[in-house]
C-alpha cells in the first residue's frame, strides 16, 4: 500500500471534489447528526490550496427548523486561546515582554492585588500561564460559575469578577511550573496584557498583532464587534438547551470570545503553520515546544495548541466548549475544522475528522493503491 500521504495526494488529483465527492462528504456529516447534535459545519483544505471543501448539514434554530449554511459563524470558545497565545508571542517578538517575566510585572495593580491574595505573582511566569502550568484555579470549575450562567444567562461578566471567582472559590492547584492544569483564568489574564500593550480592545489588539485583516479573515471577530458577523451566528446547544441568548461575557476575555466560521478557522491555522503570522520561524517552534512535568499531563499542551492522534497520525489542534475543533495534520499537510452545534460525545477528537479521512482513503481508485 502507498503511504497515506501519497494516497491523499492522488485523491487531490483524481477526486477533486466532484459532485459525487461532495455527496460522500455530506453523508459523513449527516452521520454525526443526532437528537442532541442538530447540526455540523465542516471545512477541509490541503496546505497547497489544491483541495478544499466546506459543508453544512442539519438545523440551525430548532424552533424555526432553518438549515445551517457553511458560511455561518459560531462561538469558537477556547479555540480563542490559540489566537491569544499567538498574540502574546507577537508581543514577545516585539520585545514588549519576555516569556520568563513574572506576571506581576505586567498585571494592572487592581488585578494583581486580587490574585496576590492566593498566589505569589513573582513566581508565576507568562510562559507558565500559556502552558497552563501556573497552578491557577480555573474559575469556570467553581460550581457557582455555571449556576450563574444557567440561572441568569444574560448576566454581564467582567474580567475582574472572573479573577475574583478564581481566588474566592478555589485554591491554587500546585506550585508554578510543576503540573499541567487547564485554566481559563490564565488566559483571561493574558487577554489583559494584549489590551494593555496594544491600547485596544482584545478584538482590536489580536487583529493588529496577528494581521487577521491582512489575512482576509473578515468574519473572525469578537462577539459584539461586527454586526454582520454577529448576524451570521448560529444557535449552539448544551444538553438540549439553546444557548443563543447567553451573554458572550461568560467566555469573553481571553479564554474565549471569538466568533468565526470553519473556513476562516482553517485559514488561520494555515497562516500560522505556513509562517504568515510570526516574524520569525523560531517563534512557531517555541509555541509548539513540548512541556514535561513530574507527573504526566492529561493533555499534550504547548502554548495555545495541543497534540492529538487522528487515525494514527499526529495532529496539532485546539477545541472549544461549544463544539468547535480545528486540526492540522503535518503528515498530510491537511487542515480541518468542525463545529458540532450540540458538541460531540466522548474522546478528545471530534469523530468527524477520522470519518472524513477514512472516506478520503476509500475514495482513491483501487488501482492506485497497489505498491
* Dihedral sign from CA coordinates of 284, 212, 82, 219: negative
DSSP assignment letter at 348 = S
Strand order in the sheet with 221-222: 74-75, 258-260, 221-222
Helix (H) or strand (E) holding 8: helix 4-14
Place of cell 483564568: 185
Quick check: 223 and 138 in contact, CB under 8 A? Answer: no
- Phi, psi angles (nearest 5°) of residue 149: -60, -45
> pLDDT per residue over 188-213, tens digit each?
999 999 999 999 999 999 999 999 99
Q: Which of 7-16, 46-55, 339-348 has the lowest mean pLDDT?
A: 7-16
User: Cα separations (Å) of 184 from 135, 251, 301?
Assistant: 12, 9, 14
The predicted-structure confidence for 152-195, as pLDDT tens digits, reads as follows: 999 999 999 999 999 999 999 999 999 999 999 999 999 999 99
Average pLDDT over residues 27-46: 96
Domain limits for position 120:
4-369
3-state helix, strand, coil in the chain (%, to 5): 40, 15, 45
For 236-285, the pLDDT digits (tens) are 999 999 999 999 999 999 999 999 999 999 999 999 999 999 999 999 99
- What is the three-class DSSP state of 87? helix
Q: What is the CATH number of the domain that holds 33?
A: 3.40.710.10
| pLDDT band, very low/low/confident/very high, at 7 (cuts 50, 70, 90) | very low
Instruction: Give the model's pLDDT for residue 362.
Output: 74
CB-CB contact of 351 with 323 (8 Å): no
pTM, full prediction? 0.95
pLDDT exceeds 50 at position 368: no
**364 confidence band (pLDDT: 50, 70, 90):** low
Spell out where the chain has E strands: 39-46, 52-58, 74-75, 221-222, 237-238, 241-242, 258-260, 300-301, 306-310, 313-320, 324-329, 334-340
Q: What are phi and psi of 360, to 5 degrees?
A: -60, -45
The answer to which of 91-100, 219-228, 332-341, 358-367 has the lowest mean pLDDT is 358-367
Give the position of cell 455540523.
Answer: 40
Cα distances (Å, whole numbers) of residue 280 to 47, 73, 287, 330, 358: 20, 31, 12, 19, 36
CA dihedral in degrees (162, 89, 264, 27; nearest 10)?
-80
The model's pLDDT over 352-361, given as tens digits with 9 standing for 90+, comes to 999 999 988 7
Nearest to 128 by CA among 116, 120, 140, 118: 120
Q: Nearest 5°: phi and psi at 316?
A: -95, 140
- Kind of pairing between the strands at 313-320 and 306-310: antiparallel
If one counts the domains in the chain, the total is 1
Q: Is 126 helix (H, G, I), strand (E, B) or coil?
A: helix
Residue 180 CA to its chain's centroid (Å) = 18
Q: What is d(CA 283, CA 26) in angstroms, rounded to the nearest whole number? A: 38
The radius of gyration computed from the CA coordinates of the chain, to the nearest angstrom, equals: 21
Coil, helix or strand at residue 259? strand
Amino acid at each position: 500500500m502507498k503511504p497515506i500521504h501519497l494516497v491523499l495526494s492522488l485523491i487531490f488529483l483524481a477526486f477533486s471534489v466532484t459532485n459525487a465527492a461532495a455527496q460522500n462528504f455530506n453523508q459523513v456529516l449527516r452521520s454525526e447528526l443526532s437528537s442532541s447534535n442538530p447540526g455540523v459545519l465542516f471545512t477541509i483544505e490541503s496546505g497547497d490550496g489544491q483541495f478544499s471543501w466546506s459543508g453544512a448539514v442539519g438545523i440551525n434554530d430548532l424552533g424555526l427548523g432553518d438549515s445551517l449554511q457553511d458560511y455561518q459563524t459560531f462561538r469558537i470558545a477556547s479555540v480563542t486561546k490559540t489566537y491569544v497565545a499567538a498574540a502574546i508571542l507577537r508581543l514577545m517578538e516585539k520585545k514588549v515582554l519576555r516569556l520568563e517575566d513574572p506576571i506581576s510585572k505586567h498585571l494592572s495593580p487592581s488585578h494583581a492585588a486580587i490574585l496576590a491574595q492566593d498566589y505569589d505573582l513573582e513566581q508565576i511566569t507568562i510562559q507558565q500561564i500559556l502552558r497552563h502550568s501556573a497552578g491557577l484555579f480555573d474559575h469556570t470549575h467553581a460550581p457557582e460559575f455555571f449556576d450563574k450562567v444557567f440561572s441568569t444567562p444574560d448576566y454581564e461578566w467582567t474580567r475582574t469578577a472572573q479573577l475574583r471567582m478564581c481566588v474566592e472559590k478555589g485554591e491554587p492547584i500546585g506550585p508554578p511550573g510543576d503540573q499541567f492544569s487547564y485554566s481559563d483564568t490564565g488566559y483571561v489574564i493574558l487577554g489583559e496584557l494584549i489590551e494593555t500593550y496594544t491600547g485596544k480592545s482584545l478584538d482590536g489588539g489580536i487583529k493588529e498583532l496577528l494581521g487577521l485583516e491582512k489575512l482576509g479573515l473578515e468574519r473572525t471577530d469578537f462577539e459584539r464587534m461586527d454586526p454582520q458577523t454577529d448576524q451570521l451566528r448560529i444557535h449552539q446547544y448544551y444538553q438540549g438547551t439553546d444557548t443563543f441568548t447567553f451573554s458572550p461575557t461568560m467566555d469573553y476575555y481571553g479564554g474565549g470570545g471569538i466568533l468565526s466560521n470553519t473556513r476562516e478557522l482553517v485559514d488561520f491555522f494555515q497562516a500560522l503553520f505556513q509562517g504568515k503570522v510570526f516574524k520569525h520561524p523560531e517563534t512557531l517552534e517555541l509555541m509548539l515546544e513540548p512541556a514535561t512535568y513530574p507527573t504526566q499531563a492529561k493533555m499534550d499542551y504547548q502554548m495555545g495548541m495541543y497534540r492529538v492522534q487522528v487515525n494514527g497520525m499526529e495532529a496539532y489542534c485546539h477545541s472549544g466548549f461549544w463544539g468547535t475543533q480545528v486540526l492540522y495534520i503535518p503528515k498530510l499537510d491537511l487542515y480541518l475544522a468542525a463545529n458540532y452545534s450540540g458538541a460531540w460525545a466522548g474522546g478528545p477528537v471530534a469523530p468527524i475528522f477520522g470519518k472524513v479521512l477514512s472516506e478520503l482513503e476509500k475514495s482513491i481508485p483501487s488501482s492506485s493503491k497497489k505498491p
